[in-house]
Amino acid sequence: MTLSIKQLLLPITLGLILGSSSLLSVAQQSDDAEETENQQEMGRLPLDELRTFADVFNHIRISYVEEIDDKTLLENAIRGMLTGLDPHSTYLDAKSFDDLQVSTSGEFGGLGLEVGMENGFVKVISPIDGTPAEKAGIESGDLIIQLDDKPVKGLSLNDAVNLMRGKKGSDIELTIIREGVNQPFDVTITRDTIKVVSVRSKTLEAGFGYIRIAQFQSKTGEEFRTALAKLQNKNSTMKGLVLDLRNNPGGILQASVEVADSLLEEGLIVYTEGRLNDAHSEYSATPNDMSKGIPVVVLINGGSASASEIVAGALQDHRRAVIMGTDSFGKGSVQTVVPLSEKHAIKLTTARYFTPNGRSIQAQGIIPDIIIERAKVETIKSRGRITEADLQGHLSNGDGDESNSKSREENIKPSLFNTDNQLYEALTLLKGLHILSHNKTQVMNPVTAKPETL
């Protein structure tokens, strides 16, 4: 005797309902009546909707133009359930699950893009530093509407990502819509093995350090502390630090907490709230600000998301850093990877996170203290400029040094000024903050002349 799919599913449905009721009967012994009633309401499954699902499943199974096996249909149903929730919840098949595990370690194959879905198209959250995508000029906010000859509309995010992955050395053509550009345009990118260097550091000028975090991985907190210690060893006196989180798509929550903790002495860093008990968490700083209280400027932009926003929000709320740049992406949700087997899992949004002052970043982002748009800046040189030192027979200044103007021109960093105006402004602000703090520490003894009595 052959049973229809509806006949097979309905007993399972009733069993689930009865099973839920039996479990809830145990809870009745310890909980009050109102709480038990709420639990029973949550435990009930919608029988009518399940009948509809069984009908649709059966129609597709027997009437679709091509035969599709039940396993594929059920996996597609699971995908649809998750992708219908929000842009970040998804079903991870064997390949996607493996890719996720590999990407958190910092090495994976592909183009080097952090992407999401928007209105059916793939939206670039940010290109990853040093990858083919960044070198090809892909920008945050770009919409990918076509991959080679295949339109993106109608594809799931996993399907689109799988198309973008491929053998190292192979090419793919992306058709892109960009704000401010009238027509879609094509970009050809050669795939490569992506090795994400999480933390980079350098000295901008004597005493002023720079740390760039490209992505929050499992060892980012440790790497950040190491980079900061190296800067402190190279500079006998640290005067300020630029923390660059631009185009950082986020990553592991714990790593962002460790970075913020390295710059804070005490207080809440972030807390999460969700429906499950274990979705309620608080993360606080431990004593020992590694930077020893030096001025900090954090750079963010529209590609700064998730864990980047946790760091920026915590330092902003504690007034520990000046946030500079443009509004961040606004991903204030936490995803939990729930393994279903050794090869399959679901990535499910389980909580929202909040800054120490209780701000939800979801769909709002971090608003900088000082807004600096990315721009091309050129120095305007004055023509025919004459100073006192150019006049014939001018008096000397008495200390034998008349090269101040020349030395100032030599100290200007035109490359930074012209190539990265946001970083240039951050460095300028740090210099100003150092001057003010330095002046406050000095005892001012103004010279006062006592009038003589004649």
In a domain, 91, yes or no: no
Last residue of a domain, one of 132, 162, 195: 195
Give the three-class secondary structure for 75: helix
Burial class (CB in 10 A: 0-12, 13-18, 19+), 175: middle
* pLDDT class of 392 with cuts at 50, 70, 90: confident
- In the chain, DSSP finds a helix count (H) and a strand count (E) of 13, 19
pLDDT, tens only, 242-296: 999 998 999 899 999 999 999 999 999 999 999 998 899 999 999 999 999 999 9
Task: Output the pLDDT for position 375.
Answer: 87
Q: Are 260 and 316 in contact (CB under 8 A)?
A: no
Last residue of a domain, one of 321, 339, 371: 371
Do 314 and 327 belong together in one domain? Answer: yes
Q: Domain holding 172: CATH number? A: 2.30.42.10
Q: Is the pLDDT of residue 216 over 60?
A: yes
- SS3 of 149-176: the string is CEECCCCCHHHHHHHHCCCCCCEEEEEE
Q: Domain holding 303: CATH number? A: 3.90.226.10
Do 227 and 348 belong together in one domain? Answer: yes
Phi, psi (deg, nearest 5) at residue 412: -65, 140
Do 330 and 246 belong together in one domain? Answer: yes
Do 204 and 339 belong together in one domain? Answer: yes
Task: Output the pLDDT for position 103.
Answer: 59
Do 234 and 332 belong together in one domain? Answer: yes
Alpha carbon distance 138, 148 (integer Å): 16
Alpha carbon distance 407, 313 (integer Å): 39
Do 227 and 360 belong together in one domain? Answer: yes
Last residue of a domain, one of 351, 371, 391: 371
* pLDDT class of 403 with cuts at 50, 70, 90: low
Task: Output the pLDDT for position 28.
Answer: 44
Helices (DSSP H) in 216-273: which residue ranges?
A: 220-234, 253-263
Q: Which residues contact 256 (CB under 8 A, 6 or more apart)?
A: 216, 220, 250, 270, 306, 307, 308, 310, 311
Beta strands in 41-181 (DSSP E): 90-92, 107-110, 113-118, 121-127, 143-147, 150-151, 171-177
In a domain, 377, yes or no: no
Task: Output the pLDDT for position 440.
Answer: 63
pLDDT, tens only, 55-91: 999 999 999 999 999 999 999 999 999 999 998 899 9
Q: Are 156 and 84 in contact (CB under 8 A)?
A: no
Q: Is the pLDDT of residue 12 over 50?
A: no
Do 208 and 344 belong together in one domain? Answer: yes
In a domain, 276, yes or no: yes
In a domain, 395, yes or no: no
In a domain, 451, yes or no: no
Segment of 64-68, 99-103, 382-386 carrying the highest mean pLDDT = 64-68
Mean pLDDT is lowest, of 321-325, 373-377, 401-405, for 401-405
Do 123 and 56 belong together in one domain? Answer: no
Do 211 and 188 belong together in one domain? Answer: no
Q: Is the pLDDT of residue 402 over 70?
A: no
Stretch 201-226: mean pLDDT: 95
Q: Which domain holds residue 133?
A: 107-195
In a domain, 259, yes or no: yes
Stretch 334-350: mean pLDDT: 91
Alpha carbon distance 288, 207 (integer Å): 21
Q: Are 361 and 309 in contact (CB under 8 A)?
A: yes
In a domain, 405, yes or no: no
Mean pLDDT is lowest, of 111-120, 186-195, 209-218, 228-237, for 111-120
Which carries the bigger pLDDT value, residue 439 or residue 347?
347
Domain count, the chain: 3
Do 270 and 324 belong together in one domain? Answer: yes
Provide the annotated active-site residues. Answer: 306, 317, 331
Which carries the bigger pLDDT value, residue 282 or residue 418?
282
Do 176 and 204 belong together in one domain? Answer: no
Segment of 31-35, 180-184, 208-212 carrying the highest mean pLDDT = 208-212
Averaged pLDDT score across all residues of the chain: 84
Do 171 and 272 belong together in one domain? Answer: no
Task: Output the pLDDT for position 36.
Answer: 53
Q: Is the dihedral of CA 303, 305, 309, 312 positive or negative?
A: negative
Mean pLDDT is lowest, of 5-14, 151-160, 363-372, for 5-14
Pairing of strands 322-325, 370-371: parallel
Encode 77-106: b = buried (16+ Cβ within 10 Å), e = exposed.
ebbeebbeeeebbbbbbeebbebeeebbeb
Task: Output the pLDDT for position 93.
Answer: 85
In a domain, 414, yes or no: no
Encode 376-397: b = buried (16+ Cβ within 10 Å), e = exposed.
eeeeeeeeeeeeeeeeeeeeee
